Amino acid sequence: MKTLLAMIGLFVLGASFDAQAGGLPYVDTITAPNTEEVSLFILPDATGSPLASAQTFGGASTDARLTVRVVGADGVAIPYFPFDDLWLDSEATTQHSCVPRGFVGDDNSNINGEVAFANPLAGGGWSEGPIWLYIYGVKALDLELVEVPPVAIRFNSADINADGVVDMADLPLFASDYYGPYAYRSDFHWDGVVNLSDLAKLATSLGSSCP
């Protein structure tokens, strides 16, 4: 068993070394079933909406899963690329990710170099988008050395103050949006109004926190 684990470790290490030997990995393609702007309701414990159940304006459900294909400078797919070296970031100062590097993919890339973003994002706060793809802490480039365009995804959370937990501290912020001018951060159904349906989502999310 130890020998097998060692062989697997060497294989993965070799794949990672090959990826870096040709320079910074690149993004060959980024695909999504839906091209409309969508909104995600996220929570610190990753029990919010998966990307497959994102919402278009008005509250209709739509599939916003992303598939990113990572390649080397030679255009060859990079298998087993570490999922936590590739992440989504809206650059909004009002967001919070429970994973230090950002909203990471679901798993390492498959044999075709593909990384999926389908699971619910773990975090809080809000962003009106768009959202960018990062590799090793810099915006991802394609093989033409052009920044990969951002994706039209916005998100909000019952963790309105973005401190990593949904608690009583979020209630005054929601109340100010409920009684005051419209604020996307509390419009969890993204229908253009903050009302009792959003309050119900806040209530059922109390206690959600980063692991």
- Strand stretches in the chain, DSSP E: 26-31, 38-42, 54-55, 61-62, 66-71, 86-89, 95-97, 103-104, 114-117, 123-125, 132-135, 138-139, 153-157
pTM of the model: 0.85
Q: Is the pLDDT of residue 24 over 80?
A: no
Q: Is the pLDDT of residue 63 over 70?
A: yes
Percent of the chain whose pLDDT exceeds 70: 89
pLDDT score recorded for residue 124: 97
Domain residue ranges in the chain = 2-205
Residues 184-210: tens digit of each pLDDT: 999 999 999 999 999 999 999 999 999
Of residues 127 and 18, the one with the higher pLDDT is: 127
Residues 93-103: tens digit of each pLDDT: 999 999 877 89
pLDDT band at 23 (very low <50, low <70, confident <90, very high): low
pLDDT band at 17 (very low <50, low <70, confident <90, very high): very low
Q: What is the mean pLDDT of the chain?
A: 89
Residue for token pair 């103050």: 161
